[in-house]
Amino acid sequence: MSSHAPAHAAHGHDAHSPSVPLSYWWKRVGWMTPAFFAAGLVIVWFVRAVFGMDPLWNAEVYYTVATLLAGFGFLTGIGCFDWWLKYAMGRKVDFHDHSFHGATSWKAYFRVNTDHKVIGTQYVVLTFIFFIFGGLFAEAIRAELAEPGQQFVNGEQYNGLFSTHAVIMIFLFVIPMFAGLANYVLPIMIGAKDMAFPRLNALSFWMLVPGGVMILASPFVGYFSAGWTQYAPLAIQGGTGVTLFQIGVQFAGFSSIFTAINFLVTIATMRAPGMTVWRMPLLVWANATTSALVVFGTPFVAASQFMNLFDRVMGTNFFDATQGGDVIAYQHIFWFYSHPAVYIMMIPGFGIISEVLATFSRKPVFGYRALAMATVAIAVLGFGVWAHHMFTSGMADWLRVPMMITTVIIAVPTGIKVFSWLGTIWRGKLHLKTPMLYALGFLFTFTIGGLSGVFLGTVPITIATTDTYFIVAHIHYVFVGGSAFTIFAGIYYWFPKMTGRMYNERLGAWQFWLFFIGFNATMYPMHWLGLQGMPRRVADYDERFAEVNLVISVASILMVISTLLFIYNMVNSWIRGPKAPWNPWRGRSLEWLVSSPPSIFNFETDPLVVGGPYQYGIEGARHAVVYAPTEVGGELTEAEKRTILVVAHETLASQQLVDAIRRKAAEEHYWRFTIAVPAADRDKRAAERRLQTVLAVLAEDGIDASGQVYDLGPVEAATKAASEETIQGAIVATYSKDSSRWLKQDVVDRMRKSLRSDLTQIVVTPGEVVEAFDAKGVQHVVVIGRDGLSSQGLMAELERRADQGPLRVTVLAAAGIEGPAWTDEANALREDVGERAGETLGLLLLAGIPAEGEVIDRDAPAAARVAAESYSPDLILVASARGESAIENAVEAVRENAGIVEVEHFIVDAEAPAAPMGS
Amino acid sequence: MSTEAIPVRAAPPVTDEVPRISQGMLAMLLFIGSEVMLFAALFAAYFFARFNIADNVWPPVDPATGEPFELPILMTAVNTAFLVFSSFTVWWAEHRLMHGDRRGMIRGLWVTIMLGATFLIIQINEYAHLSFSPQDQAFGSTFYVLTGAHGLHVFVGLSLLTVMLIRAYRGDFSPSFATPLTAASAYWHFVDVVWVLLFILVYLL
């Protein structure tokens, strides 16, 4: 155990994978687990023989000790104890041993790993597997209950089904899943490099494996039928399945306790400079509170299960009323933990919801301190309400009313939380991404569960509804509508951070709605069933409940489909989803200020926390400053790190694209843009001109952008640009479907596949307004002329100027109509001049010069007046064909009308019409 | 690009707060808190049996002999003295280390381990000679499980102290770094305090 000061200075944290292969550890598991199991058998035999116990063979005693030791055998084999054993044997050890830290391949996830991020991922994946098993048990229950009578299982097996379902969901899914999510994000959120005790953290995770296997195996060696609560005396009549459960739950319990201690020490001692308690994200508050509950509550369930086990296996009499034991005592001890356990299963979810709601409402959390203190209040009050589970148990009568009052009082801090969340989303700018959908769904369902909880907290209602489906409905509204919804929200929310990939948003939304509807359709009718008197924990039921039960069973399939969709989305996105940016949700807390996934020790140096975590929408507010080593360039302003790739060729110099970049840049101050201009077989000089013009425009807006022209096709150019720096997203601009060559070649889809990042397509209409280029850095030239327009000479001149510096052109074609403007001659003249002007514009656009134009009915001086009045150009270029006297003679008048604008006269030889370059 | 009044610094900020308590010690204190709750649960079962069911007719009558069950109070009192004394010796070992006396610390640890082992042996001997078993009513169950759980903790404490002794021989500890030792000794004090409570509640009252 390390006891050094927390701030590991950046001393060469280079992790190297241990040289032993993965198979080494699993071979050790392979022989040590059975060896320890056998050792357990031998020890019991020895002790029983020595003390002359009769009979020598008592199966349950042997199994109890042997399975306990087998669990330790597994842990020893996988290598959890290696470091400590070395320490205990007096060998030289390194307190900062990082040889088991971090992951470079999938193999690192299948051995002991001390990296909190790897452990977090291990937790989430393993507990989700347990969730699937728990769900299968639930579906088996629903299959049996689909119609009255006995179909698939007998009463004993049915009891085993619901008991195992509950145990898996509580001890193997909800509690460890929260531990896993917090394991991943909590150290980053407080600016720490890892947990306080990484080796203990690894042990906590691996303890879940034998614990989980034992609990999953228990139905196959004799169902335990007393429910997850294991009430004596029924539980004491159980068989080996109960033994496996009771040993397994001890592993899970120890795992929780160690994780909780780890969290508490980490939060207490490893916060980054400036991270005061009132700047901690609410998830950290929630986990600190939960950890305290676990540390002081879980030993009670451990003790209750030990005594229960001894009563059954050893023949002790704790809960045997005929031998002076107290049956009710079991329930008191059990619920003294297990009611706080309800909050252990809920409070971390409250933390997740606070994070998600604030981020996706773009608002500071409403009542931050009230939320934090309400969390603590719930935990403290939670220790004083346990007996409300026992109103009908025959416990002392005088306990009822005090427990009813304390129970109902818990609604006050819970209400504070719910109203604070509503205050957070009130008038917020809601972004309905999947995590937010789950958070809003949570608000809805959890409130229903909370309200039925207030009902059930009162003695008369409990007495009326005890052991009916009303209870089932209530706990599922709290644990599914509450805990499971927050878990889904959390997984979606941090999926980009954990995997470095984006999940599929549309599938996510589908998954949410299926789950939400399926859940409500499954659980809501149970309220009614309960009030009608349908008893829970019975395999059969009265005919009159048949229809509703069938509906419930069918509706529950929606949740199965939804879960399959979730698995597909997660697995598929993890493998081939687009690369996630650092901060896809624009969150403020520290985990969003590091890369996705974070580097091996999260931060190169300690971040400095300078403000609260939820200051959304507050000008200039910052939560933290993240530093990078001097080699990288000092403070890590995210601008250096977060790049959007822009791919466009002709479409680059367009209003739509520039606006899109501006919009993106306005989102966060740290986006920077790399523009890749693919110009294989195209006019490279034109491409360069466009690029320079756009860069000049963006520079004036203070947008950090750079670019390059590539002699490559679009996909190749984008891939090349993306290989040169880490990109967080891409924008590609094309023409519309009908006129786009790129779309015909499927460029966008190919690019999306190749870049694997978030790609936005902008459709540009050709020949549009160019206000976007009205920028100081771009010289604005008005060309006035008639016959001289669209000549090669003029084009060459403008291109020459454009090569010297960014340029945009307005063509004013002076038709020179004299007399009335509605005559046929006038119209013909106008058309002729307009055609010429259009041709010029086309040539200019092809040459990479943004251009627009109009036809002026009158002569050149009139055009000059228009130019000076409406276009505010930097230069007026009067273009005349050689010998075109109408224009040549008007130059002086033009100068007069142009006022302060500089006027140049350019004479072109009109013989050769200009041809676009490069074609 | 940012214009906030935050100084741009290339070097990591210096952590200005040194925690008042080492991580190891804090973890041990929390773990002890957890252990306290474990014993609280076992004591709860004991109180339920004694005050709720037996109505404080305690020890209850052994149906086999017609006499109340008997506990060896005198011998256990002596044993309690050993354990209490060992708490002082482990404190003394720490104290010697703080004065830079490594040999004194090792001696103190040896004495502590010897006393603890003596306690454990006497306790096992007591088990062997008691007139009742864990299966004899709730009285027997609570007695054996409480003292057994405590004995297990004594064993864990002894193991910790033994490891500390090994590390002490290796020269791990110094006046400036002794967290594992102080943590192990805190655990030992806890084991001791629990026993005093247990002796009073189970044997004397």
Mean pLDDT of A484-509: 93
Chains A–B, number of C-beta pairs less than 8 Å apart: 196
- Position A586 in a domain: no
Verify whether the Cβ–Cβ distance A318 to B13 is below 8 Å.
Answer: no
A709, A684 in Cβ contact below 8 A? yes
Q: Are A339 and A256 members of one domain?
A: yes
ipTM of the complex: 0.90
- Is A819 a domain residue? yes
A323/B2 CB distance under 8 A: no
Task: Report residue A609: phi and psi, to 5°.
Answer: -90, 130
C-beta of residue A594 within 8 angstroms of C-beta of residue A603: yes
In a domain, A628, yes or no: no
Q: Is A240 within 8 Å of A344 (Cβ atoms)?
A: no
Is residue B114 included in any domain, yes or no?
yes
Q: Which of A3, A324, A634 sits opposite B179 (nearest CB)?
A: A3
Q: Kindly list the residues from chain A whose CB atom is less than 8 angstroms away from the CB atom of residue B183.
A: 1
A493 token code pair: 């929310």
Q: Which residues of chain A make contact with B140, given a CB cutoff of 8 A?
A: 316-317
Q: Which amino acid is at A842?
A: G
Kindly give, in sequence order, each residue whose CB lies less than 8 Å from that of residue A605, ignoring residues fewer than 6 positions away. A10, A627, A628, A629, B11, B12, B13
pLDDT confidence tier of residue A638, bands split at 50, 70 and 90 = very low
Tell me which of A319-333, A502-516, A615-629 is least confident. A615-629
Neighbour order of strands in the sheet with A643-647: A705-710, A672-678, A643-647, A727-735, A759-764
The closest CB to that of A608, out of B13, B42, B137, belongs to B13
User: Hey, are the CB atoms on B8 and A635 less than 8 Å from each other?
Assistant: yes
Q: Are residues A648 and A793 in the same domain?
A: no
Alpha-carbon distance of A666 to A20, in angstroms, equals 50
Instruction: Map residue A43 onto helix, strand or coil.
Output: helix
Contact across the interface for B134 and A325, Cβ inside 8 Å: no
Q: How far is CA A221 from CA A60, A154, A217, A245, A886, in A?
A: 12, 16, 7, 11, 106
pLDDT in tens, B18-55: 556 889 999 999 999 999 999 999 999 999 999 888 88
CATH number reported for the structural domain that contains residue A515 in this entry = 1.20.210.10
The residue that leads in pLDDT, A622 or A113, is: A113
Asked whether residue A698 falls in the same domain as residue A783, the answer is no
Q: Are residues A761 and A815 in the same domain?
A: no
Q: Residue A672: pLDDT above 80?
A: no
CATH code of the domain containing A716: 3.40.50.620
Please count the other Cβ atoms lying within 10 Å of the Cβ belonging to residue A822. 7
Q: Which residues contact A634 (CB under 8 A, 6 or more apart)?
A: A627, A628, B8, B9, B10
Q: Are residues A83 and A120 in the same domain?
A: no
Note down the domain range covering A899: 778-908
Is A597 within a domain? no
Choose the closest CB to A317 out of B21, B141, B163.
B141
Residue A708: φ, ψ to 5°? -155, 145
Select the residue of A268, A336, A637 nearest B2 (Cβ to Cβ): A637
Domain boundary among A748, A771, A794: A771
Cβ contact, residue pair A299, B183, below 8 Å: no
Point out the domain boundary residue: A771, A802, A826: A771
Q: Which of A755, A771, A787 is the last residue of a domain?
A: A771
Measured between beta carbons, which residues in chain A are less than 8 angstroms from residue B41? 299-300, 302-304, 333, 336-337
Q: Is residue B180 part of a domain?
A: yes
Q: Establish if A624 belongs to a structural domain.
A: no
* Whether pLDDT at A450 is above 80: yes
Residue B88 lies in a domain: yes
Residues A521, A523, A526, CA angle at the centre, nearest 5°? 110
Q: Which distant-in-sequence residues (6+ apart) come within 8 Å of A595 by Cβ?
A: A500, A582, A641, A726
Total number of domains in chain A = 4
Residue A828 CA, chain-centre distance (Å), reads 64
Share of chain A above pLDDT 70, in %: 93
Residue from A186, A349, A356 nearest A259 by CA: A186
CA distance B73 to chain A (A): 23
Let me know whether A210 and A357 are in one domain.
yes
E-state strands within B63-131:
none
Q: A395 and A297 in one domain?
A: yes
Answer with the residue of higher pLDDT: A267 or A156. A267
Residue A421 in any domain: the answer is yes
Q: What is the mean pLDDT of chain A?
A: 86
| Contact check, Cβ <8 Å, B52/A326 | yes
Chain A CA closest to residue B168: A90
Cis peptide before B59 (omega within 30 of 0): yes
Highest mean pLDDT among A769-773, A911-915, B115-119: B115-119
Radius of gyration of chain B (CA): 23
CB contact under 8 A, A324 and B60: yes
A790 and A714 part of one domain:
no
- For residue A6, the model assigns a pLDDT of 34
Same domain for A784 and A762? no
CB contact under 8 A, B13 and A606: yes
The answer to the question of residue B64 being in a domain is no
Lowest mean pLDDT among A133-147, A557-571, A851-865, B114-128: A851-865
Measured between CA atoms, how close is B82 to chain A, in angstroms?
26
Are B145 and A307 a contacting pair at CB < 8 A? yes
Tell me if B87 is assigned to some domain.
yes
Residue A651's pLDDT is: 81
Q: Is residue A623 part of a domain?
A: no
- A900 belongs to a structural domain: yes
In a domain, residue B36? The reply is: yes
Same domain, residue pair A80 and A196: no
- pLDDT of B4: 41
Min Cα distance A547 → chain B (Å) is 46
Please report whether residue B1 resides in a domain: no
C-alpha A391/C-alpha A371 separation (Å) is 31
Query: What pLDDT is stored for residue A657 in this prediction?
Result: 84
Q: Which domain holds residue B95?
A: 32-59+71-204
The reply to whether A422 and A566 lie within a common domain is yes
pLDDT the model gives residue A648: 85
Strand, helix or coil for residue A705: strand
CB–CB contact B139 A329 (8 Å): no
Give the 3-state secondary structure of residue B198. Answer: helix
Residue A607 distance to chain B (closest CA, Å): 8
Q: What is the CATH number of the domain that holds B192?
A: 1.20.120.80
Residues A70 and A174 grouped into a single domain: no
Domain presence at residue B15: no
Provide the number of structural domains found in chain B: 1
- Of B13, B14, B141, Cβ closest to residue A318: B141
